[in-house]
Structures are given as structure tokens and as C-alpha cells.
Structure 1
Amino acid sequence: MAQGRTIETGTEHLLARVEDRIAWLTMNRPERRNALSDEMLAGLALALREAESATDVACVVLTGAGGAFCAGGDVKGMAEASAGGAGRAALTLDERIHRQRLSQRETAGRIWRMPKPVIAALPGAAAGAGLSLALACDLRVAAESAILTTAFAKVGFSGDYGGTFFLTQLIGAAKARELYLLSDRVDAKEAERLGLVNRVVADAALESETRALAQRLASGATIAFRYMKENIGRALTGASLEECLDMEATHHVHTGLTQDHRDAAQAFVEKRTPVFKGR
């Protein structure tokens, strides 16, 4: 393995490193099942910006430490802050809404818009906003013991970090309503059946399976991947068939002019594996 580097996040709540063209972002509050803190969200936003712009990053993996992915919002911390009259509770309504919007755009929104493939590796529970962040990713690999739940109805919240958008796109409005209104727990196998996760693997194999998938993507046609994501994203936002066809045509021609395409076409003729260089 090539020697990696760390990405500065400003907090121990979000650890980030780059290895072999893969950015590994780890939510790191295991004592609270990686519940989101303000520090973690700010660190995640920083790490995502760095991963997006860094030339030595071709794929991003988001995961959690200590056997959980992310328990969502820190409900206990919210209650403590509210009781003490500190933090968010001291902000005006407009300030709280603005802060929430900005945080969502810089985390879930940035994951969704990331021009590079993003994988969520779920070692355990993904709940509430934690589930939303996982659903924002392109692919999800879940350990057999992972549990998914929207959870919001259980604590009197309506939902945040794009979960309603991502879930509805993945499984349709009817099932999304069920999972939000009832907030039932979904095990890994059922999540795979529903299309919420792409792969379910043994708990002990999660890191190795995720790494293999990330390496496959990181060594792939990164320019084409970016355009594929744009094409699919356009289709999901209500564009007409004609608009989608026009975007596909533009991107298809652009990729056809890349060195990657020319080299891959030659490799195809010569019956060898192509080497993509992102140009």
C-alpha cells in the first residue's frame, strides 16, 4: 500500500486520510455511536471539500468507528444544550434554520454532488441523519449486523440531511413514507432487498470488501464517472427526456475526446486491461 496522508478536519470527531487514491472519512464518536456533533459536521464539510478538489483522490469512503455507522443527531446532547440554554438553543429561529441549511448543503449536498464516486461502509447502525448521509452516497456496503432506520418519528423530528429526497429516489414515495412514518428498523438483508444497500458482507469482511470496491473505482474511468453521475443526477431532478438526451450527447462526445478513452479503446483492441489516468 502506498504511504498515505491525513486530511486536516480540525476535530477528532471526524478522521480523514488518503491512501491509494481513496479518501477514508471516519465518523469518530464511538462512545455515542458516532452521533453527529457540530464539530463532526464541520470536519466532514472540510474533508469533503478537500476530497473533491484533491488530485490524489479518485474515490471517497464514508464510515464510522467502533461498530456503528452513525446514530444520527446527538439527541442527548441536544437535550442537554436546551436545558442549559446554550448552543443552538440560544440562537434565534432564523439563525437555527440558516445554520441547519448550510450544514446540510455542505455535507449531504456535497456528497450527492461529489464528482467522484462515494461509498458508505456501514459496520452497524445507520439512523436518522446518519442514514441520510449514507443514502447520499453512490454505493452502500453493509455488514450483516447493520441496522437502518429513519428514527425521526421516534423522537418527534420530521427529518433532515436530505433523507426524504434520497430515500424517495431509491425506493419510491410509498415505501419512503412507511419508513419515515413508522421509523421501523430494517436489517441488512431487508435493506439489500429494498435497494437501500448494494452489498451485504460478513462483519469481519466489511473493510476489505469496501477497500476492494473503492480500489476498483479509484482505478477506473474517473472522467466518465463524473459525467455518469451528472447524467443520472439530471434525470433524478425532473429533467425531460430531451434534456437528458442532450446532456448525454454532450458528455459522451467530451469523454470520446479524452486520452482515457483513446487508451481504453486501444486496450480493447489489444485485449488487455486499460490503465486510466484521468485525462
Structure 2
Amino acid sequence: MYQEITYAVDGPSAIITMNRPEQLNAWTDSMGDEIRQAFHQAEHDDTIVGIIFTGADRAFCSGADLSLLDNIVDGGRPDGSNITPPGDNTLDAGYRQTYSYIASIRKPVIAAIHGACVGMAIPIALFCDLRFATPKAFFMTAFSQRGLIAEWGSSWLLPRMVGNANAMDMLLSSRRVYAEEAKQMGMINRICEQDQLISQAKDYIADLAQHCSPYSMAIIKRQLHQDWMNSLDDAQKNAEDLMLKSFAGDNFKEGVAAILEKRAPNFPPLQLGDND
């Protein structure tokens, strides 16, 4: 089914792997199309609680493939796919764009990063919910060294993740930022040894599957992305409306029952229709 990625399921985890190892998983338009399809597949699979997004072999993603860059130099446009992105279509249109749709996926998405995360791969990784990285993983914007600008929302994402001063440094210099410094900046959540990277991501999702409501996680993701651009007053009003709805839902009843009965909760899966 897929040519430039692989898709696997392990318990509650779906693993989407960019699979062009000879090119360090450099991004192509066809890879982008397959990744959209894979995210849609995982999001609509009731058995999947969380998604791991990673790269094969030595790198996460080395940025745009040279063929894609050559096409742009010749007057082409990057990633001209007409595939409707998956994810929560109630979010602002900014979360429905070429790569930002990853943030709107209604299940937790962990970027498992090793080796190079370069150029356009940085906003792609930052649109994921969590980032686990190996000690030798490095982040390099590269835009200023290619005669480009801060692409694909980088100028919006990076300051919110790492602060304006660190974002300015990374974007102006295009220097390499390794995992330890990236963690200190707040860009990544966890540093894992190479041989434990995927297993730790799976363990994280397994813990979510055992203890957390898929419905709650989907709503919390929506709140975080919406309220990032709202006033505190709007955020609180929205939370109150959602809270009242949650009180009447089966997930809340099950969560309370699990506490009272001193057992693990048995939350229903997140069910999405064909048009969601």
C-alpha cells in the first residue's frame, strides 16, 4: 500500500515510519501524501490510542529531497497535494495546512527523533504533540543557509516552544542544536537511548491506553490548540462549556466508577465517522 513509508500497529500504538533511508528520509510530495493517508488510517482505527512518527535507519528526516528543491527552483510549488488532511476540522484553518494538520490529529502523536531533523522536518516534528529524541539527534533549521525564510510556520512555532531569543538564534544561524540543548530549551520532552527510543514511545502510549480517556485526550488537544490563540476569558468560558458536557458523558461516569471501585478505568475508544 505504501511505497515511501511503512505503517505498523503494535497494541494501542500505530507507528508511521518515513522509509527512504538512503536519502536520510528526505521529504517528497509522494511521501507527504502517504503520511496523510497513514495518519487518517491511524486516527480512524478504534484500537489505536496514540501514534509514533519516526524515520528509518540513521535519521528522522533530512528536510526536502533535492528533487523537490529542483522542482521549486524551476518554478514548481512544494507539496501540491489535493488530499484532504485528516484531523479535527473544527480547529482554526491554520491547523489544516500542509503539515500543521498533524497537530489536529485527535490522538496523541509522538515524534521519535534520531539523527538529523533538518529544515522542514523541524516544524513537522514540532506539530507533533510530544518529541522523544536520542542523545545524538540534532535539529538544524538550515533555511538561512539555503537562501530561504522561516518555512511552514517555524516563525510561529519556535518562539512558542523555545522562546524568542532561542528561536532567533536557531533561525538566523542554522546551527546544529543537539538533544540535550533542545531539551533545555523545551523543544523535546525526553531523551532516550537509541535502542529504547521506540519502546519508550510505545510504553508511553500503553500507559495512556491503560489510564486515560481517548475522548478526554482529544478534547484537551483541541483546547490547547484553540486556547493558544484565545484570551484567558474565552479559554475559561470554553472550558466551562466543555466541562458541563463531560459531566453528562460516559467517560466521566467510568472515570469516577474506577476510582470508587479501586480498579483501572475501561474507557470507550474514540470513534470517528467517515466524514470526521
Q: 1:114 aligns with which of 102, 105, 108?
A: 105
Match of 1:211?
202
Indicate how the Cα distance of structure 1 residues 191 and 261 shifts in structure 2: closer, same or farther if over 3 A, else same.
same
Match of 1:152?
143
Residues 122-180 of structure 1 deviation map (CA, whole Å, 9 limit, x = unaligned):
12211111111111011000011111111111212213233222212212223212111
Q: 2:74 aligns with which of 75, 89, 93?
A: 89
The percent of aligned pairs where both chains have the same amino acid is 29
**Given residue 74 of structure 2, which amino acid in structure 1 is its aligned partner?**
A
- What secondary structure sits across from 2:216 in the alignment? helix
- What secondary structure sits across from 2:60 in the alignment? coil
Whether the 8 Å contact between 2:29 and 2:78 is mirrored in structure 1 is no
Larger helix proportion, structure 1 or 2? 1
Residues 50-96 of structure 1 deviation map (CA, whole Å, 9 limit, x = unaligned):
2223323221110000121011111x3245557xxxxx7354xxxx2
Partners of 1:100 and 1:161 in 2: CA distance: 15
Q: 1:234 aligns with which of 211, 219, 226?
A: 226
**Given residue 89 of structure 1, which amino acid in structure 2 is its aligned partner?**
D
- Normalised to the residue count of structure 1, the TM-score between the two structures is 0.85
Structure 1 residue runs of 5 or longer lacking an equivalent are 1-7, 83-87
Q: 1:200 aligns with which of 177, 191, 201?
A: 191
- Normalised to the residue count of structure 2, the TM-score between the two structures is 0.85
Partners of 1:218 and 1:270 in 2: CA distance: 19
Greater shift, 266-275 or 29-38, is seen at 266-275
* More RCO (CA 8 Å, sep 6+): 2
**Given residue 27 of structure 2, which amino acid in structure 1 is its aligned partner?**
L
- What secondary structure sits across from 1:184 in the alignment? coil
- Tell me how many residue pairs correspond in the alignment: 259
Q: 1:38 aligns with which of 25, 29, 35?
A: 29
How many angstroms does 1:234 deviate by? 1.5
Whether the 8 Å contact between 1:136 and 1:162 is mirrored in structure 2 is no
How many angstroms does 1:250 deviate by? 1.7
Partners of 1:209 and 1:79 in 2: CA distance: 35
- What secondary structure sits across from 1:99 in the alignment? coil
Greater shift, 193-202 or 100-109, is seen at 100-109
Q: 2:80 aligns with which of 94, 99, 121?
A: 99
**Given residue 146 of structure 1, which amino acid in structure 2 is its aligned partner?**
A
Structure 2 residue runs of 5 or longer lacking an equivalent are 86-94, 271-276
How many angstroms does 1:107 deviate by? 4.8
Match of 1:131?
122
- What secondary structure sits across from 1:277 in the alignment? coil
How many angstroms does 1:241 deviate by? 1.4
Indicate how the Cα distance of structure 1 residues 97 and 128 shifts in structure 2: closer, same or farther if over 3 A, else same.
closer
**Given residue 67 of structure 2, which amino acid in structure 1 is its aligned partner?**
G
Greater shift, 239-248 or 161-170, is seen at 161-170
- What secondary structure sits across from 1:278 in the alignment? coil
Tell me if 1:259 matches 2:250. Answer: yes
Whether the 8 Å contact between 2:13 and 2:206 is mirrored in structure 1 is yes
**Given residue 190 of structure 1, which amino acid in structure 2 is its aligned partner?**
E
Indicate how the Cα distance of structure 1 residues 90 and 185 shifts in structure 2: closer, same or farther if over 3 A, else same.
closer
Partners of 1:179 and 1:191 in 2: CA distance: 11
